[in-house]
Amino acid sequence: MPTPPERPGPSLQLAARLSPQMEARLFRGSLSASEWTFRGHRNRIFLLSSGSGHVRLGRRETELTGPAMIWSPTGEAGSVIFDAGSEGAALAVPDETLGSAMPTGAVFAQVREAIARPILGRRLASPDTRRMVGTVATIEQELKADQPGAQEVIRHHLALLLLAIWRLADPLADQVQPSPRAVVRGFVHLVELHVRDHWTIPQYASTLGVTADRLNTAVRRATGRTPVEVIHSRLMTEAAVLLDQSALQIAEIAEALGFKDAAYFSRFFKRTAGQSPRDYRQNVSQKRIVGDGNYAAWP
């Protein structure tokens, strides 16, 4: 009979969570098998220091012998079972947290490409295993303590894990340009991280390891919009939320969004939305008042 999903017990170190979506744990010599079943909502890494087991991802199934690593990106559903006595670590990370930990610079696109594919049972050298398990242990401790600066520490250690995964994916073995899909995915991640920094298109392209022309082509084919239009759309979304849901002055919103001055922000907003930020805020407020005055809204 299949082993039921494991519930945290004395033999497992279950981390307290910084958010409901992130988990880290070490497992050490449990008397029974340890099983994880996942539906692909989070990125997962499993490190098997010693022992054995097997992993199933979709229709693929692989036997495991430690030391070994499993990487399962978001969207991959499956299960991992470690036999009794096995030792190692497990980490589950949502896309948003992982995106904020992505290393920048020339390796960004290569790392993004490496973590887009599953890695099933990659054999590890013992020193690499100890180092990576130690990194997960540090994340686990930070999740438990939840002290000031915990998120920065966790992002730093996640970046180390991502670089380790990239190295294990043999980045020098196939020095190819990132696929158009990876370029677009990486661009969207970078826009989320740097939209308020007002990066230029060459800056985005350089970080992704492609030319500005290739970035433009990939984004236009995938979205029907230019990279500049995607960036402006994201800025407008942020601006609309702040105008609608905050009491910040126009000048304060402009500063929060990285604009040099309120006048420049107002011109940008009016050119894109067809009305000034002040008019937009007033119109939204009036619509809310009308909606609240509707009979259907009465108690």
The yes-or-no verdict on residue 8 having pLDDT over 50 is no
What would the mean pLDDT of 179-192 be, rounded to a whole number? 89
Query: Does residue 6 sit within a domain?
Result: no
Of the three residues 168, 188, 213, the one that is the final residue of a domain is 168
The answer to whether the beta carbons of residues 32 and 84 sit under 8 Å apart is yes
Q: Which is it for strands 87-93 and 43-50: parallel, antiparallel or unpaired?
A: antiparallel
Statement: residue 266 has pLDDT above 90 = yes
Domain count, the chain: 2
Cβ contact 9:91 at 8 Å = no
CATH number at residue 148: 2.60.120.280
Position 92 pLDDT exceeds 90: yes
> Is residue 237 included in any domain, yes or no?
yes
> Are residue 31 and residue 156 in the same domain, yes or no?
yes
Task: Tell me: do 268 and 121 sit in the same domain.
Answer: no
- Shared domain for 133 and 163, answered yes or no, is yes
User: 263 and 164, same structural domain?
Assistant: no
Q: Examine the domain organization and report whether 78 and 160 are in the same domain.
A: yes
Q: Residue 204 in contact with residue 190, Cβ under 8 Å?
A: yes
Cα-Cα-Cα-Cα torsion 223, 102, 135, 42, nearest 10 degrees, comes to -10
Two structure tokens written together for 180: 């158009």
Do residue 107 and residue 129 come from a single domain?
Answer: yes
What is this structure's pTM? Answer: 0.57
**Using CA atoms, how far apart are residues 184 and 220, in angstroms rounded to an integer?**
9
pLDDT digits (tens, 9 = 90+) for 121-135: 888 888 899 999 999
CATH label of the domain that carries residue 193 = 1.10.10.60
Mean pLDDT score of the chain: 84
| DSSP bridge partners of 67 | none
Inside any domain, residue 49: yes
Mean pLDDT of 57-72: 90
